Amino acid sequence: MTYLLDTNTLIEAKNRYYRMTTCPAYWSWVQRSHHAGVVVSIEPVGAELRRGNDELAEWAKSQNGLFLPVSDETTQQAFAHVAAYVASQAATMKTGAMEEFLGGADPWLLAKAMTIPGAIVVTHEQFNPQLRRKYSIPNVCEPFGVTCIDTFELLSRTDARFVLAD
């Protein structure tokens, strides 16, 4: 199983429950899970993180291979399907929502998930079919049959354990 991390999962972890100095085990787990072929993300997520001016930006700069490219033909074709779907929904959404969604990493995350058999997107966004102010990842994943879970479900599914050594 391959889990694709959304930007917000890493930012929330750093800002709240897995601060880098408080819970370094989480960040080691991400690295180990990546090296085991379980956890990845995409280059647009890496670019969003590296634009910051904090410890997460520095961490992202050192994560060789974690951020998969999206320039391959299969991902580009999947992105076109995502963009067409989003455009078909634009009349029901807030003005500018489509441009905002398509201008970020989110549609690329879904497109990459569509190219990896059984891939699951990890995000803290929630499925809400009534949402009209913005496109949420789970809302756009649903018509493509891509599963979305949050960080806590990911940790449960992968049997992650952060145990004090003392």
What is the percent of the chain with per-residue pLDDT over 90, rounded to a whole number? 81
| Burial class for 25, CB neighbours closer than 10 Å (0-12, 13-18, 19+) | middle
**Residue 153: partners with Cβ closer than 8 Å, 6 or more residues away:** 122
| Residue 127 pLDDT > 90 | no
pLDDT digit string (tens) for 95-118? 888 898 889 999 999 999 999 999
- Structural domain spans, the chain: 3-157
pLDDT at position 131, please? 65
Domain 3-157 = CATH 1.10.620.20: no
Residues 6+ apart with CB under 8 A from 109: 4, 6, 41, 42, 44, 45, 121, 123, 137
pLDDT digits (tens, 9 = 90+) for 50-63: 999 999 999 999 99
- Token pair 């974690």 is at which residue? 66
Average pLDDT over residues 5-33: 95
